[in-house]
Structure 1
Amino acid sequence: MSSSLHTESTAPAALSLSSTSPATARAEPGYQIIRRNGGVTPFDASKIGIALTKAFLGVEGSTAAASRRVHEVVESLTQEIVLGLTRRAEAGRTFHIEEVQDQVELALMRGGHHKVARAYVLYREQRAAERAKAAPATAIIAPEFHVTLVNGSRIALDIDRLRNLISEACEGLADVSAEAILTETQRNLYDGITEAELALAPVLAARTLVEREPDYAFASARLLLDGLRREALSAAHGGRQQATQAEMKDRYAAYFPAYVAKGIEAELLDPELARFDLKRLAAALKPDRDLNFQYLGLQTLYDRYFLHIAGTRFELPQAFFMRVAMGLALREIGREARAIEFYDLLSSFDFMASTPTLFNAGTTRPQLSSCFLTTIPDDLEAIFKSVKDNALLAKYSGGLGNDWTPVRGLGARIKGTNGESQGVVPFLKVANDTAIAVNQGGKRKGAVCAYLETWHIDIEEFLDLRKNTGDDRRRTHDMNTANWVPDLFMERVSEDGAWTLFSPDEVPDLHDLYGLAFKAAYETYEAKAAQGKIKVFKQVRAVDLWRRMLTMLFETGHPWITFKDPCNIRSPQGHVGVVHSSNLCTEITLNTSRDEVAVCNLGSVNLARHVTPQGLDHDKLARTVRTALRMLDNVIDINFYTIPEARLSNLRHRPVGLGLMGYQDALHTLRLPIASEDAVTFADESMEAISFHAIAASCELAAERGRCPSFEGSLWSKGILPIDSLERLSEARGRLDLDRSSVLDWSALRERVMHVGMRNSNVMAIAPTATISNICGVSQSIEPIFRNLYVKANMSGDFTVVNPALVHDLKARDLWDEVMISDLKYFDGSLASIDRVPDDLKMLYATAFEIEPSWLIEAAARRQKWIDQAQSLNLYIANPNGRKLDSMYRLAWERGLKTTYYLRATAATHVEKSTLKGTDGKLNAVQVTATSVSSGTGAEGKACLIDDPTCEACQ
């Protein structure tokens, strides 16, 4: 079988697409191919069709029927490959022949042509080995190549600098070969190469090797840094500047003050930053920490976080972390020392602030908060004010949760016009379109989640909002939705009882009631409805409504299931209000009202950095949490508030949400399978430790700075900590089946909280962390591992993700080779079907869809007992059916969980099977659309990807 592309050989006319398929015969003019000898020729797509045809016929034979089928398949694949190459490249882009072949391999795997792809891969490997044997590449072969600068002038290619740059990038990385990167880089060189292409060439070269050795992700990042350094140094100092990593040890000190001055001059940085002792702060920078990035993390920072002027970045990584630290230390006494303390925590990846804080700290508009929760009142003026508030809050990167329950339902009387209401849905449509219109300065789309209680008369229409069928005027394709479910409804489901739907204008107090008080009022209204004293109502079978809720969740990914009663019964702030909804990601549970918009300020401890094979490092965790809580508390006072209701609420209650990420990495370090009792116990013990230290830290801040104004009367003031509030939920329900054991000395802390107070009304919430975990190079939040090898697609491009812990273990057992890589691709990153992998490794590295979701729920329940807010809990289910979904969500309720988040099902899963050699890796890479996992199984396709930074969920 021949797999040559863009060679001098030709195929029989019958096998060529050049004369029969104009759409695929040739790419747009201007694209070029770099051949292996360094020559450059025009890009001719017909040769892709020739190679594909030969590959198919070599595997499937050359009968007439096979030839006809092959012709159709090849035409489609060729179009896909050409599009894959050209859609992410400006006119005139030059591709290496290997890059084209990578796209061919990717298209075959995506299309399910596994036998052909396998034969194609083996043939490529054979040919590569033959070329290497014939002419081993021990050093780059460089003719008199020249580099074209931005101004059009040409200079000689500095081969020695390129060689040294690659060698430097590989220092300290085991099993990473500078020679291999150098050889691969050669393929992307040609005479007249642009400066940008030259910077990209070694990055691409290193990225091609990531799937074989995960540490090439670090080498790729270090090579990427070279282009970033040149860009940022030139922007900060003027002229053409460049530096190696070794040179940056001295140059960072001079660069940092110039960077601050440049940012202030451009009106991007707060002028107050110039009043810091910049020389002291510059001396505290740690350039070596630039080496801790993996490629995905650094590319993400470049694309979305680093400050720029007209697209030119002038912010280097350590300056970025110091800028954020300075922004959070603005009002500290001894602020240089605090800024250095904050910088050390961020730049070490021990803790990471949320995306809005990273975006805006130290800037002229420091909107640092993550989440805003609002209640929509039931009058026209207030409804449209709320929509306007959504726009203002979203403008500066806030994620929104709207409680729509007070708005009267379809058919309810409008007193002012003596007409009938069209219900809540038309207003939701307006809110949906507003979220799309306000896209946070192009950094990510505005994002909002609408909540509705299960007794609302419009609940059935609400369930259909994300469907692609029906009246599009009553659909919200871009808005997240969530059910706000009272315990009484779950009880009616359990006993197969009736459930009555009401319009809130006739039952106004239900919105603010929960627990036994809600039950009493609800039953009274049911009696009135039976007596004809209520005009708008409908009675349904509770089980039928529950099944429809689960069906819509399965088919469209929405609405999510969240539970009203545990959120309120266990809320520390029940004395001053009611929790009417959660936020965009279901981890925030704060009071809202007409006068108060709840605000939460988030950050996450990197649990992987606080665990050794021997267990949790409590001393380090205590230090991290103490500093992190101080940073989060500072956000409240420094924050730029876009509406007064948010400022009022935040200063009155001062809530923060300290969460965690890297949970799966921690389990790998401890050698604990996620589907095990030991992992559930670790979830319990680790969250207990975070809870203990977070409460203690807020108590320390109260002693130093004063209690939050709403402390008196709170559960805290009564000595009822989150672990104690479980008893309140148990009493309300009659029972609660949950382990309540503890390890730490809570008695002493409880007494101190009662007497000293709490600086913050709430201190814990586990957010999704999809983007900030990428920055730190660890697993998201509390998520199980998605796949052991896959391609992650986000706004920065496509990235190969390989589980480094698995690779380490397979190497130790002499199992890591090309066949294993091929098998992992074929089996979607799962070990389960690979016979030669031992069972203990299959258990340890089981992926999300290979474990029973009950394990995730049990671990979440053990965490929830320590958390004063909630957690973003995604649930994964293989081969879902109604019975499984029912038992899964009933278990979540029975264990006292406050909320759940996305349902992810295998029926909608698509994992890219790729070498990733074909992604461009540009610093300003264009987003490539590729679905990793959808939350539903229908054709809706609107559910959040497993990593979608256009969504606020990916903080």
Structure 2
Amino acid sequence: MENNFKPAEISENAKVVLEHRYLLKNDSGDVAEDPDGLFRRVASALAKPDKSYGASTEEIKETTEEFYQMLSSLEFLANSPTLMNAGTKAGTLSACFVLPLEDSMEGIMKTAHDAAMVQKYGGGTGFALSELRPKGSTIKTTHGKACGPIAALKLLSSVSTLVTQGGKRDGANMAVMNVHHPDIEEFIDCKTQEGEIHNFNISVGATDEFMKAVKEKKDFNLIDPKTKKVVAQKDAYKLFRKIVQGAWKNGEPGMIFLDEVNRKSPVNHLGEMTATNPCGEQPLLPNESCNLGSIDLAKFVNEDETDLDWNRLKKTTRTAVHFLDNTIDANKYAIPEIKKANKLSRKIGLGVMGFADMLIRMNMSYDSEEAVDMGRKVMKFIQTEADIKSEELADKRGPFEGWEGSRPQINGDKPIRNACRLTVAPTGTISMIAGCSSGIEPVFSLAYRKHNILEGKTLYYVDKNLEKAAKEKGFYSEDLLEHLSNGGSLQDREDVPTEVKKVFRTAPDINPEYHVRMQAAFQESVDAGISKTINFPNEASEDDVTTTYMLAWELKCKGITVYRSGSREKEVLTSGTSENETEASVDSKIGFVSATERPSELFGVTRRVYTGRGNLYVTVNMSEDGKPFEIFAALGKAGGNDSAMAEAVSRMVSLTLRSGIDPKASIEQLKGITDVPAWNEGELIRSVPDAIANVLEKIYEPKKESAPLSINELNDETLISENKNTDIANVLQGETCPECPSTLAFEEGCQKCYSCGYSKC
């Protein structure tokens, strides 16, 4: 502990994220603590378990201060559920879970129940579909036919959606199927049908046998999980290309290399790992959970920026292991089976963030051998120190309950407190709080625009390291910021020195091979897995993805996730087409549609909304079946351009409604358009089109009055209130953020908004 300690300064962006997502609220929904209060609350709650191991009141007080300084310095932050829920009466401290899925009606329904309870607590869930019998298999007890794994997946998806209807978005889930399952092709295609499975990531569990068959272009066996008999053979390379094609189109399915996962498992005597958490970095046994935290490496660069402060990093690593081990004892568990599984292995996941910022400060290019070696070195160091601390804890507290028969016990290793110590997990919003780059990802964007709604000015948010370098070297200019915020690359600028271009390389600038090689370098010392996105430019080919997937397997990564820039934006979804219909044949069926004739009489609702252009009166008339049929919008002041534009927008929306287009499509197009923002009854209305979308959404999807959400209903995947400083343009190509007009970044196997803090895995 430092006697003259001062907490780190919290950035304005971090304050916004903390206020909306992390700081405790009172019964009126107002913020009831500040960031310092959050860190003290969490530190105090996580130091208390020491009492169970004989610590005195004074020792617990010292540990509380040690935890507080580690958190408030922003050198280490725990995963979001811990920051949100520690020291409160509700909610879990774990981020995500893997649940068993047994091949029986009782087993499937038990899993659905447990998933609902876990997601009620705010956790994400992973499932292995591999043990479910194939579709069409005979059921002896009923003489019927099995519905198959995909039907079970649809059930779990609907349960997840049902749980989140109380004000939250859909939860995060992962479904994994072993590549040898007879229904593997149906699994690979399961998300191409729009809307049926929309809240699951999917990954194929690939074995060494399969990957070798791909490499040699041979057949491989499909095995019935119930009878364990070979039921068919398939062309491995052809199936692999099908996986690659899906990943090229929209990033799914990912791949998990199951043999590598289980080859390194320290507790293979407790079972086989067949699934991961929603982001893929944490392979887990059934009912285990993730207890995660990350160290900001950039904060350990020494003053002359030539190396790291290794002594300080050692101290933080050891303190973080103590903190995370206590998380297991302080946790609240949704079901008893999860508590039992966590005590049995006591797995924790200490990871890193700010790696790209660290490299930049040390003048290293991300895609260089020097940087790969540095990544390998720093993770090896953290592994060594984490192991030492876990061994010390085992000395005082005893090893994990499943120690006898574990791989380290059989090998004659020292008893250790935690079966696994390291994971590189998504850092989403906690990296925004820390003010650093995400995980081990390269910097995603060097600049973007943000609109100040109070003064109508455009502000540029610039990477702090680039801003410093640009001002020191004299190439800082508005033209440069405009170029970068419009999607331009620093590599294209003639006014930027070559040595600066070499260091400031963003994710799109980096060859996918170096993304994989960096992941593999960290994986050497990480006993769980790594959440990382391998970014491809939009023009990348399927062959490029094929090469990358093979490289990840050959370099002994445990899994891989790819994203081709803009691919989800251009994704073609089919609905109800037969297996033999091609994309072209579907397109040929698409013709013009005619709007439904207006009946002579309709009933509707009129609402007044205050906008920056004056009072707007919006009328939505409904059809006989209760659906929005047409919309009229008129400003209080008649005539003029503003009124004409309001009428034009309402006419076009009416045309889409009468043509059978889902109102959600029009709402999504209009929502977030910004002109002259104004507040209407505590709600930000950005423009007349935004007001029309607001009214249509409320009428189309009426929301019941409910009590304010408690802190346990919040997690990384569920809620963020709207930011009063809203992005107008963010040039990162891809999907639009559902919470603001910015575009999402694809990092760490997740979607992340750098503007408002939205994060979904």
TM-score range, shorter chain: 0.7 to 0.9
Of residues 746, 751, 756, the one that matches 1:945 is: 751
Deviation at 1:859, TM superposition (A): 1.6
Give CA deviations for 1:444-499 in whole Å, capped at 9, x if unaligned.
Answer: 64111111111112111111222145xx6xx3122111111111110110111112
- In structure 2, C-alpha distance between the alignment counterparts of 1:504 and 1:719, rounded to whole Å: 32
Deviations for 1:138-173, whole angstroms, at most 9, x for unmatched residues?
xxxxxxxxxxxxxxxxxxxxxxxxxxxxxxxxxxxx
Match of 2:74 in 1: 349
Q: Distance in 2 between matches of 1:902 and 1:356?
A: 27
Q: CA deviation at 1:568?
A: 0.2
Distance 1:790 1:867 in 2: 33
Aligned-partner residue type, residue 11 of structure 2: Q
1:284 CA drift (Å): 9.7
Return closer, same or farther for 1:618/1:920 CA change in 2, 3 Å cut-off. farther
Match of 1:653 among 342, 345, 356: 345
**1:681 partnered with 2:373:** yes
Query: Structure 1 residue 863 and structure 2 residue 557: aligned?
Result: no
| 1:406 corresponding residue in structure 2 | 131
Considering fraction of residues, name the structure with more strand: 2
3-state SS of 2:559 partner: coil
Q: 1:345 and 1:562 mapped to 2: Cα distance? A: 34
The answer as to whether partners of 2:347 and 2:419 remain within 8 angstroms in 1 is yes
- Name the amino acid aligned to 1:550: V
Asked if residue 589 in structure 1 is aligned to residue 296 in structure 2, the reply is: no
1:712 is paired with a residue whose SS is coil
User: What is the CA–CA distance in structure 1 between the aligned matches of 2:11 and 2:133, rounded to whole Å?
Assistant: 51
CA distance in structure 2 between the partners assigned to 1:591 and 1:766 by the alignment: 18
Q: 1:292 and 2:292 equivalent? A: no
Is the 1:284–1:340 contact (alpha carbons within 8 Å) kept by the matching residues of 2? no
Among 653, 667, 678, the alignment partner of 2:359 is 667
Distance 2:208 2:721 in 1: 49
Q: 1:285 offset after TM fit, Å?
A: 11
Q: What SS class does the counterpart of residue 773 from structure 1 fall into? A: helix
AA in 2 matched with 1:311:
G
1:934–1:946 Cα contact (<8 Å) kept: no
> Cα RMSD (Å) of the superposition?
3.0
The residue type paired with residue 327 of structure 1 is A
Kept in 1: contact 2:447–2:485 (CA 8 A): yes
Among 289, 294, 308, which residue is 1:599 paired with? 289
Matches within 5 A, 1:106-125: none
Q: Give 1:331 deviation, angstroms.
A: 2.4
Deviations along 1:689-748, one digit per CA (max 9) or x if unpaired, are 11011111101111111111112332222458xxxxxxxxxxxxxxxxxxxxxxxxxxxx
Residue 477 of structure 1 corresponds to 198
Query: 1:788–1:847: 8 Å Cα contact kept in structure 2?
Result: yes
Q: Deviations over 1:230-287 (max 9, x none)?
A: xxxxxxxxxxxxxxxxxxxxxxxxxxxxxxxxxxxxxxxxxxxxxxxxxxx9x9997x
Once the 2 structures are TM-superposed, how far is the Cα of residue 792 of structure 1 from its aligned partner?
A: 8.6
Helix, strand or coil at the partner of 2:352 = strand
Q: Which amino acid aligns with 1:844?
A: V
Other structure's SS at 2:561 match: coil
C-alpha spacing 1:366/1:341, structure 2 compared with 1 (3 Å): farther
For 1:942 and 1:432, the matched residues in 2 are separated by 25
Contact kept? 2:247, 2:563, Cα under 8 Å:
yes
> Which residue of 254, 264, 267 corresponds with 1:570?
264
- Note the alpha carbon deviations across 1:359-401, whole angstroms, 9 max, x for none: 1100012511122112200001110110111111111221211
Residue number in structure 2 paired with 1:643: 335
Q: 1:444 to 1:603 in 2, by over 3 A?
A: farther
Q: Work out whether residues 395 and 440 of structure 1, in 8 Å CA contact, stay in contact via their aligned partners in 2.
A: no
Q: Does 1:308 align with 2:21?
A: no
Give 3-state SS (helix, strand or coil) of 2:425's partner.
Answer: coil
What's the % identity of the aligned pairs? 32
Is 1:889 aligned to residue 695 of structure 2?
no
> CA–CA distance in 2 between the matches of 1:801 and 1:899?
33
- CA distance in 2 between partners of 1:402 and 1:396 (Å): 17
The 10-residue stretch of structure 1 (366-375 or 922-931) with the greater mean CA deviation from structure 2: 922-931
Which secondary structure does the structure 2 equivalent of 1:292 belong to?
A: coil
Question: Using the alignment, how far apart are the partners of 2:166 and 2:69 within structure 1?
Answer: 29
Give TM-score scaled by structure 1 length. Answer: 0.58
SS in 2 for 1:784: coil
Q: CA deviation at 1:539?
A: 2.9
Whether the 8 Å CA contact 1:440–1:446 is kept in 2: the answer is no
- Taking the aligned partners of 1:460 and 1:799, their CA distance within structure 2 comes to 48
Flag the 1:883–1:659 CA change in 2: closer, same or farther, 3 A: same
User: Do the aligned partners of 1:668 and 1:844 also contact (CA within 8 Å) in 2?
Assistant: yes
Instruction: Give the TM-score, by structure 2 length.
Output: 0.73
- Distance change in 2, residues 1:463/1:933 (3 Å): farther
Counterpart Cα distance in 2 of 1:834 and 1:615: 29
Structure 1 portions without partners, runs of 5+: 1-280, 508-524, 527-536, 721-753
Aligned match of 1:818: 478
State the partner residue of 2:435: 777
Separation in 1, partners of 2:564, 2:542: 14
Q: Say which of 321, 324, 331 aligns to 1:629.
A: 321
Aligned counterpart, 1:133: none
User: What residue is the counterpart of 2:448 in the other structure?
Assistant: 790
SS at match of 2:401: coil
Q: Distance in 1 between matches of 2:370 and 2:167?
A: 44
2:251, 2:561 within 8 Å by CA — same for their partners in 1?
Answer: no
**d(CA) in 2 for partners of 1:845, 1:337:** 41
Q: Is the 8 A contact 2:751 2:760 kept in 1?
A: no
Give CA-to-partner distance per residue, 1:432-452, whole Å, 9 cap, x none.
122223239756641111111
Whether the 8 Å CA contact 2:250–2:564 is kept in 1: the answer is no
CA deviations on 1:329-362 (whole Å, 9 max, x unpaired) are 1222232221111111000001000001011100
- 1:850 Cα deviation (Å)? 1.1
1:549 counterpart = 2:243: yes
Query: Aligned partners of 1:444, 1:883: CA distance in 2, in Å?
Result: 36
- Partner Cα separation in structure 2 for residue 702 and residue 811 of structure 1: 51
Contact residue 170 and residue 199 of structure 2 kept, 8 A: no
**Could you give the per-residue CA deviations for residues 632-655 of structure 1, whole angstroms, max 9, x where no partner exists?**
111111111111110110111111
CA contact (8 A) 2:745 2:753 kept: no
Aligned to 1:703: 395
* Alignment partner of 2:144 out of 413, 419, 427: 419
Q: Deviations over 1:761-801 (max 9, x none)?
A: 111110010110001110000111111112599xxxx9964
The CA distance in 1 between the partners of 2:473 and 2:105, in whole Å, is: 68
Q: Would the aligned equivalents of 2:174 and 2:277 in 1 still touch at CA under 8 Å?
A: yes
For residue 369 of structure 1, give the secondary structure of its aligned residue in structure 2.
coil
Contact 2:250 2:567 (8 Å CA) reproduced: no
Q: How does 1:367-766 map to 2 (within 5 A)?
A: 367-439=92-164, 442=167, 445-468=170-193, 475-507=196-228, 525-526=229-230, 537-592=231-286, 597-612=287-302, 613-719=305-411, 754-755=413-414, 757-766=415-424
Of structures 1 and 2, the larger Rg is shown by 1
Higher relative contact order (CA closer than 8 Å, sequence separation 6+): 2
Shift of 1:410: 1.1
Q: Give the secondary-structure state (helix, strand or coil) at the position aligned to 1:599.
A: coil
Structure with greater proportional helix content = 1
Equivalenced residue count is 589
When residues 812 and 285 of structure 1 are mapped into structure 2, their CA distance, relative to the original with a 3 A threshold, is closer
Structure 1 residues 792 and 548, CA gap change in structure 2 (3 angstroms): farther
1:64-116 Cα deviation digits (max 9, x unpaired): xxxxxxxxxxxxxxxxxxxxxxxxxxxxxxxxxxxxxxxxxxxxxxxxxxxxx
How far, CA to CA, are the matches of 2:95 and 2:465 in structure 1? 32
Deviations 1:644-682 (A, max 9, x none): 110110111111000000000100111000010000000
Q: 1:758 to 1:489 in 2, by over 3 A?
A: same
Change (3 A) 1:652 1:440: farther
**Residues in 2 aligned to 1:704 and 1:611: alpha-carbon distance in whole angstroms:** 33
Partners in 2 of 1:678 and 1:421 — Cα distance?
54
